[in-house]
């Protein structure tokens, strides 16, 4: 083996080694070897890499930090992730990307995340694992136009798409919808296309993409809440029925991810407490297909005593892992710049905690963080 180079190894051995590398390591391989770049950029390698990543999904935390910005409008977009089944103390990925502007985030889809600059018409696609991002074509809009974006994926055509809603503040129910197919490379990027929606509505919450359909909460012209679905392949809108027991106009309803399925939860009234003691029932509704809902009422032993020790930060339900662990996280970091994530294992009725350090210390009470389940390492955008 003396003097043997990586390039001289058999192709199957090289692929087995590459498939186990982190996305950022793949970027380095591409920069030093045209042969490796050709292998990594093949469709078969990307599909194999994604299948392996999906077998061990991650929890992704996203926040903004302007403390180290060189200009007033420059923020650090911070990503931290670890495997959902990771034990405390294992190495975690911490990545920061400098972007001009303040951004809102859509839930990740197949390892990519869509960022929309707040009160602007700029949309960015980012791969947290590779620290790469791509500016999409600007949405044509004047300063009085507000836009909202959603991110979805069509498995049949292997295409990621961004759905954009444009509206004017004086006529909030006269919306224009556009869609953009994310190109494989920056040179083959298509422009935004206008599409027709026969169900007047305004998206109000981030959605969950399930088998090529994006489900999200919206408002009608009378301000009543509805559930909409968007078929990513056919680019059709559809009104989806809500659970019979649910009044979307009461509470603060949100879609979370239940091992890939859309799960509906009221963030203000999710728990039903036992008359005595600290036990509570978490009530959610899981969507199966377009219209079938099943109610989950999960007993959580001693929830009041375990979760309420941090009085300042209210825990929100963030989804269910494939091993049936319920994940709870606050919406803001604490004074030390960290947050504590709570896992509840339903089969064993046990809690575990995981501390995540995101920012430096500070007294800013509005340092928000978003927590997403089922994020995966992706070889895209490299």
pTM of the predicted model, to two decimals? 0.88
The rounded percent of the chain whose pLDDT value lies above 90 is 42
Q: Dig out the tokens for 164 from the structure.
A: 């954009």
The predicted structure's pLDDT at residue 93: 65
Q: Dig out the tokens for 362 from the structure.
A: 């500070």
**Residues 6+ positions from 67 with CB-CB distance below 8 Å:** 76, 359, 360, 362
What confidence tens digit (pLDDT) does each residue in 286-323 have?
A: 999 888 999 999 999 888 888 765 555 678 999 998 88
pLDDT band, very low/low/confident/very high, at 340 (cuts 50, 70, 90): confident
* Continuous segment of H or E residues that includes residue 198: none
Cα dihedral 137, 141, 143, 148 sign: negative
Contact yes or no for 63/80 (Cβ under 8 A): no
| CA torsion, ordered 242, 248, 252, 254, to nearest 10 deg | 20
pLDDT band, very low/low/confident/very high, at 254 (cuts 50, 70, 90): very high
Distance of CA 240 to the CA centre of its chain: 22
DSSP state letter for 102: -
The predicted structure's pLDDT at residue 1: 47
Which domains are seen in the chain, by residue range?
Answer: 1-41 (no CATH), 42-375 (2.120.10.30)
* Continuous segment of H or E residues that includes residue 49: helix 43-54
Instruction: For residue 51, count other CB atoms closer than 10 A to its CB.
Output: 11
For residues 353 and 340, what is the distance between their CA atoms, to the nearest angstrom? 7
What confidence tens digit (pLDDT) does each residue in 133-160 have?
A: 899 999 998 888 889 999 999 988 899 9
For residues 287 and 88, what is the distance between their CA atoms, to the nearest angstrom? 32
Contact yes or no for 182/203 (Cβ under 8 A): no
The predicted structure's pLDDT at residue 342: 92
| CA torsion, ordered 27, 46, 159, 76, to nearest 10 deg | -30
Q: Dig out the tokens for 46 from the structure.
A: 């990307």
Cross-strand bridge partners of residue 143: none
What confidence tens digit (pLDDT) does each residue in 77-126 have?
A: 888 888 887 655 455 566 777 777 788 899 999 999 999 988 888 999 99
What confidence tens digit (pLDDT) does each residue in 9-23 have?
A: 888 888 899 999 999
Instruction: For residue 249, count other CB atoms closer than 10 A to its CB.
Output: 11
What confidence tens digit (pLDDT) does each residue in 32-55 have?
A: 888 889 889 898 999 999 999 999
User: Helix axis angle, 11-18 relative to 43-54, nearest 10°?
Assistant: 40
CA neighbor of 164 nearest in space, from 183, 144, 145: 145
For residues 306 and 326, what is the distance between their CA atoms, to the nearest angstrom? 14
85: left (phi over 0), alpha (psi -120 to 50) or beta: alpha
The predicted structure's pLDDT at residue 54: 92
DSSP state letter for 108: P
């Amino acid at each position: 083996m003396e003097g043997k180079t990586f390039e001289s190894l058999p192709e199957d051995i090289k692929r087995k080694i590459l498939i186990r590398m982190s996305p950022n390591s793949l970027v380095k391989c591409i920069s030093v070897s045209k042969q490796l770049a050709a292998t990594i950029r093949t469709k078969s390698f990307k599909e194999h890499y994604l299948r392996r990543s999906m077998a061990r999904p991650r929890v992704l935390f996203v926040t903004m930090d302007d403390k180290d910005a060189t200009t007033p409008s420059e923020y650090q977009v911070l990503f931290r992730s670890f495997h959902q089944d990771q034990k405390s103390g294992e190495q975690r990925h911490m990545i920061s990307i400098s972007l001009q502007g303040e951004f809102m985030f859509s839930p990740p889809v197949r390892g990519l995340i869509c960022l929309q600059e707040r009160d602007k018409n700029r949309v960015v696609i980012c791969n947290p694992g590779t620290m790469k991002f791509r500016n999409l074509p600007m949405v044509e809009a004047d300063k009085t136009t507000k836009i909202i974006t959603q991110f979805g994926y069509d498995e049949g055509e292997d295409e990621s798409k961004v759905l954009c809603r444009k509206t004017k503040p004086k006529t909030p129910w006269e919306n224009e919808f556009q869609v953009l197919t994310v190109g494989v490379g920056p040179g083959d990027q298509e422009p935004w296309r206008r599409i027709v929606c026969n169900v007047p509505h305004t998206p109000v919450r981030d959605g969950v993409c399930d088998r090529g359909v994006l489900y999200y909460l919206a408002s009608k012209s009378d301000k009543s809440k509805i559930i909409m679905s968007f078929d990513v392949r056919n680019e059709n809108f559809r009104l989806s029925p809500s659970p019979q027991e649910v009044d979307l106009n009461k509470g603060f309803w949100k879609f979370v991810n239940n091992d890939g399925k859309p799960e509906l939860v009221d963030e203000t009234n999710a728990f039903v407490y036992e008359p005595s003691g600290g036990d509570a029932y978490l009530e959610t509704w899981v969507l199966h297909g377009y219209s079938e809902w099943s109610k989950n009422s999960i007993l959580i032993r001693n929830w009041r005593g375990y979760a309420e020790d941090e009085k300042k930060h209210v825990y929100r339900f963030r989804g269910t892992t494939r091993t049936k662990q319920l994940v709870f996280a606050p919406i803001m970091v604490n004074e030390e710049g960290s947050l504590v994530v709570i896992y509840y294992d339903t089969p064993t009725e046990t809690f575990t905690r995981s501390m995540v350090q995101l920012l430096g210390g500070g007294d800013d009470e509005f340092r928000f963080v978003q927590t997403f389940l089922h994020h995966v390492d992706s070889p895209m955008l490299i």
